[in-house]
Chain A
Amino acid sequence: MRCSEISKFFGKVRVLDGVNLDLDSGATIAVLGPSGSGKSTLLSIIGLLAKPSSGELELFGSSAPNSEIDRAVFRCREIAWIFQNPTLLFGRTVIDNVTLPLILGGMKRRDAETEASSKLDSVGLAKRKFELAKSLSGGEKQRLEVARAIGRATGLVLCDEPTASLDRANSDAVIELIVSEKPPATSIVIVTHDSRVAERCDSVVELRNGILM
């Protein structure tokens, strides 16, 4: 991923100012910064949810698609998100939540369940895979979200404050899972306030008032 001179205006307010950011395939980067510094806006642009006012975004070696349809297809196929609060199918089983993106990607359910079981094993939820997602604790739900995101084998995982709602132990566990269990070719961008999370990444950048420090 490469951001070249990315700027973003909301009306007359400049939220991002000439941001340059490179991320190699398989690398992990943390974006630190106080509230209102433009972290989430940058994440939205990288995730193709918003277009920059100026500058260029490259993903996987080519310019980001322009048309909404192409951007939507690209988002679905190549980008996974991990949010602060887990977004799960709470009425479904743990393993169903992990197999979901796999079967939507064309995998047979049996194969998807095999792969999902492996992912659940790596996040420590293998024994609970047939329980409903709503029965999990907060930390477990976030680990499940991680398992689903990294199980998709997308090129890019965007994490928006993934540990903000967790206690220290769960926070450490989740970030460890994100970094250690991701597919080798998957790049990760983590927006966080937590410096301990940043320490686990390959590189760290800081945004202040829309400017990359």
Chain B
Amino acid sequence: MIGKTDPPILRTLLGESVRNLRGARFRSIALLLIFIVGFGATTLETYASARSARVEESNLWSSGADVAVLSGSSISGKSCEDLNRVEGVEAAGAMTPDGEVVVTPSDLRTVMAYRVTPGFLEVMVRPGSPTVGGVVADQLLSSQLGIGATSQRTIAPVDSSGDVSGGSTATFIRPIQFSDRGNYYLGSLFFVEPLTSEFTECFVSLAIDAPSNSPTILASNIGGSSLVEGSWLLGRNQGQSSPLVQFDSRAARWAWLVFGFLMVLVSSALIRIRRNEFALYRSCGATFGTLIKIVFPEFLILATLTAAFWPLDFASYQLIVGGSLDAGALTIGLLAGTKFLAVSMSCIPFVLYVSMVGSPWEMLRRDQ
């Protein structure tokens, strides 16, 4: 044996990849552009959809869109609270129509959290909690909720034994407008749930994907009550999916697969037309493994350039349009883009292998 038998040096092969890219500038630039369009379209679509869904979802909540009001001549606080166990109900609670909750010491139970939307106060009972009184909110929370300082008052005095019998009647004045911050805030606000009082309205917060017949079911759960016409504050159709659910089920969520497949075709075509080039490599001693080490980095370099380009572009877009970086949506988008790149890159070994079937010398001779 006279010829050299040492395996090629990896760094040298990587240099070969770079030289191939430089040697075929048009092909490289075209491939880079295709990568950028494919990766970018995939990422941008996911990012834009996620952002839109989140904004829409937020708007729904901030507009109190999922709140229904059941009206009746006399609705007990207990039956209103029982609606919490109905499918599709996120929370239910009663308030007087004039915006005042009048509670007596015997009504007091401890609650651990609340949810507020304009015109609605949701009270959640802490399971197994002792009977104690509480306060509405401290100053910080009041500020966050957008309720006035006058709303901060002690509902009932609490002594060391938890006895609230000595408390007096207290009134909570419902604020005209809660802040957006209040919509999602689940704090440890102690408030009262008027279980024994009688009300004329029961406010119900429905899950966005609640069954469309929820209002009817709710009304049937409270005898003598009916859904107040027009009380659905959201103009959406009942049973409409949440924007976030729609985002998860949108057809475009497969865009990465579609673009990835297109890239598979493009990559395959670009590899196939280089059959003679690969035959030349093989005739000079390159094995399949050697060629993989040369060809794969060529695509990987372009993909990396693409992946490096898009976060920068995204960041600038968000800063200009939104004024801040939305890391969550950006991550979702980049994951979609990365899946696109993974699909498009996965075909390379296979296509290269197929392109190498046959004798390289025969290929070169046929080309004569």
Contacts and interface: CB of A to CB of B under 8 A. Distances in A.
A103 B9 contact: yes
B85 interface: no
Given A96-B19, A160-B365, A105 B4 contact: yes
B273 interface: no
A172 to B, nearest CB: 21
B345 to A, nearest CB: 23
B130 to A, nearest CB: 80
Contact of A84 (B5, B24, B290, B368): B368
A108 interface: yes
A49 B366 CA distance: 13
Given A89-B23, A89-B280, A106 B368 contact: no
Nearest to A44: B361
A104 B281 contact: yes
A185 B23 CA distance: 34
Interface stretch (A6-14, A31-39, A149-157, A198-206): A149-157
A106 B8 contact: yes
Contacts of A152: 3, 284-285
Interface in B1-39: 1-9, 12-13, 15-16, 19-20, 23-24
B3 A83 contact: no
Contacts of B9: 103, 106, 108
Contacts of B277: 89
Among B280, B365, B367: residue with most chain A CB under 10 A = B365
A106 B2 contact: no
B2 A78 contact: yes
B361 A47 contact: yes
A130 interface: no
A170 interface: no
User: Which bucket holds chain B's interface residue count?
Assistant: 35 or more
A103 B277 CA distance: 16
Nearest to A68: B359
A208 to B, nearest CB: 23
B96 interface: no
Nearest to A161: B368
Contacts of A154: 2-3
Nearest to A102: B4
A76 interface: yes
A85 interface: yes
Nearest to A105: B4
B280 A186 contact: no
B210 interface: no
Interface in A66-116: 75-78, 80-81, 83-85, 87-89, 91-93, 96, 100-109, 112
A101 B13 CA distance: 12
Interface string B326-368: 0000000000000000000000000000000001011011011
Contacts of B169: none
A101 B361 contact: no
B23 A91 contact: yes
B16 A81 contact: no
A91 B8 contact: no
Contact of A104 (B8, B276, B365): B8
Contact of A77 (B3, B8, B365): B3
Interface string B291-318: 0000000000000000000000000000
Interface string A55-66: 000001000000
B282 A76 contact: yes
Contact of B284 (A60, A78, A104, A108): A104
B19 A81 contact: no
Contacts of A88: 280
A152 to B, nearest CB: 7
B361 A81 contact: yes
B216 to A, nearest CB: 73
B16 to A, nearest CB: 7
B8 A105 contact: yes
A106 B7 contact: yes
A91 B276 CA distance: 13
A108 B283 contact: no
Contacts of A148: 284
B15 A76 contact: no
Contacts of A109: 12, 15
B30 to A, nearest CB: 14
A153 to B, nearest CB: 6
A129 to B, nearest CB: 14
27 contacts: A49-B361, A76-B287, A77-B285, A78-B1, A81-B364, A83-B365, A83-B368, A84-B368, A85-B368, A87-B364, A89-B23, A89-B277, A91-B24, A92-B23, A101-B284, A103-B8, A104-B285, A104-B286, A105-B4, A107-B4, A107-B6, A108-B9, A148-B284, A152-B3, A153-B2, A154-B3, A155-B3
Given A49-B361, A91-B20, A100-B16, 5 more contacts: A76-B285, A77-B3, A92-B23, A103-B13, A104-B8
